[in-house]
A and B are shown apart, each in its own frame.
Chain A
Amino acid sequence: MPRRSIAAGLMAAALLLGSLVAPAFAAEAFIVVQSTTSTQNSGLFDNLLPRFTKKTGIQVRVVAVGTGQALKNARNGDGDVLLVHAKPAELKFVEAGYGVKRFDLMYNDFVIVGPPKDPAKVGGMKDPIAALKKIAAAKAAFASRGDDSGTHKKERALWKQASVDPTKASGKWYRETGSGMGATLNAAVGMGAYTMTDRATWIAFKNKADFKILVEGDTKLFNQYGVILVNPNRHKHVKVKEGQAFVDWLLSPEGQAAIAAYKVKGQQLFFPNAKK
């Protein structure tokens, strides 16, 4: 192999690189949405986004991370729209001037799942606070997200209402995975631990083994999702027109109907509740 062909090979690779970099600068109509793992892992976006793109020609690029990280990324201006589920944190985000306005979008609920043996005997309970108290009293293994996500924020709020500080038992019966919902469910199933999950992720989750929903149906387990356009006054590159079009579509009768129509195994995962 002559020396020149190696140089040519490297040049070809560099050209390939150029072709990859170029699209980043092309004026394609797309927006970046910072969102949560539950909306992605449940398949909602796969169902929703093609409809919006077909109608408007705007491509939607979803970065699915925990709500905490999504808020942080959006704060840095690395997204045009934020779609998450931690209302107090979302309101704070808008108040601090990072978002234009927050809209209620849809809801579902959280459930506590666990092994069929149910060592803390919480099966069939409604009140999550009483259930958490029993789990703590029994020192039964509980897997927490531990990642400052929307679900983790909710879980911590419930522990607080139960007047239990589980972090004292961190590493013992209280196990913080520091991972997404799916990874935490995998861990919980592996350890035979209880965990709290949003219903959508649970229904779509494929590695349930013999785990079951044990606690559900209380208003305290309500899970509200909100949508926010990132404030162009903070980050002037925010694609206001395209981003607003996405927000408007989600809140429109058409978008709301599309959310309601998404089902897995015959079960509706998200319930639209935008104010008209």
Chain B
Amino acid sequence: MQDFGAAFGEAFRLILTLDAGLLEIVVLSLKISLSAVALAGLIGLPLGAVLAVVRFPGRAVVVTLLNALMGLPPVVVGLIVYLMLSRAGPLGVFGLLYTPAAMIIAQTVLVVPIVAAIARQVIEDMRTEYDEQLRVLGIGPLGMVRTLLWDARASLLTALLAGFGRAIAEVGAVIIVGGNIDHVTRVMTTAIALETSKGDLALALGLGFVLLVIAVGVNALAMGLRRAAARGAYA
């Protein structure tokens, strides 16, 4: 396939020339996916921790459901969010459809189950380990949630990174609720879909390589933070 060679060429050309259109798309992709992950963290981490600590009837069902929701098809989420935000839908009055806000909402819905499910598992494992100490100290459920969330922070970073991976890579949801509008809601994945449908496979693949580079960059940054944090903890 000569496309691969051409794609590498395109990727290098796009990066080296700091293509203005590309930069705009990359920045928007990062803004949207990082916002979604932050929101999902605010919702998913406490949710996962509470599920790990608090026992209640039907808990097993909730946990199973949460784990299953990790496999939510993006296009289904896109469709549901579209129906909610459409002018004919219940939240239509806000006029959010075809804006970055709509894309953040869709990606947050996709990412929350991933963050919450991984956080639940991590914290539950840690809880078994700490159980006795925590009980001796007489710490209540809320205190436990806080303590465990803090102590598991390094592992929870992986949960957030898994969520980020999902958010930055998906196309099914954002193309429906964002509309892939040039300069407004066009992100990396929808741009790749568009170039593919134009038959410009080299440019599409080139954009794919750029996306990969960005994902590597974000992960490296997060790992660096984690190492710095670990060093701080033991200093």
Contact = CB atoms under 8 A, between A and B. Distances in A.
A61 B179 contact: yes
Given A14-B38, A77-B87, A186-B199, 10 more contacts: A10-B41, A16-B34, A46-B182, A61-B184, A62-B181, A63-B98, A76-B88, A183-B196, A207-B201, A237-B95
Q: 9 smallest A-B Cβ distances: which pairs?
A: A182-B197, A13-B38, A77-B87, A207-B199, A63-B179, A76-B88, A206-B199, A1-B229, A24-B99
B199 A205 contact: yes
Interface in A16-41: 16-17, 20-21, 23-25, 32, 37, 40-41
11 contacts: A20-B100, A21-B99, A37-B197, A61-B181, A63-B179, A76-B87, A76-B89, A78-B97, A78-B98, A182-B196, A183-B196
B158 interface: no
Nearest to A25: B95
Sort chain A's interface into a size bin: 35 or more
Nearest to B199: A207
A276 interface: no
A13 B38 CA distance: 6
A264 to B, nearest CB: 11
- The binding surface of chain A is classed by DSSP as helix
B96 interface: yes
A24 B180 CA distance: 16
Contacts, number: 107
A10 B87 contact: no
Interface in A81-120: none
Contacts of B88: 75-78
Contacts of A14: 38-39, 42
Contacts of B201: 206-207
Interface string B82-126: 000011110010111111110010000000000000000000000
A243 B181 CA distance: 17
A55 interface: no
A20 B198 contact: no
B148 to A, nearest CB: 13
Contact of A20 (B32, B41, B180, B181): B32
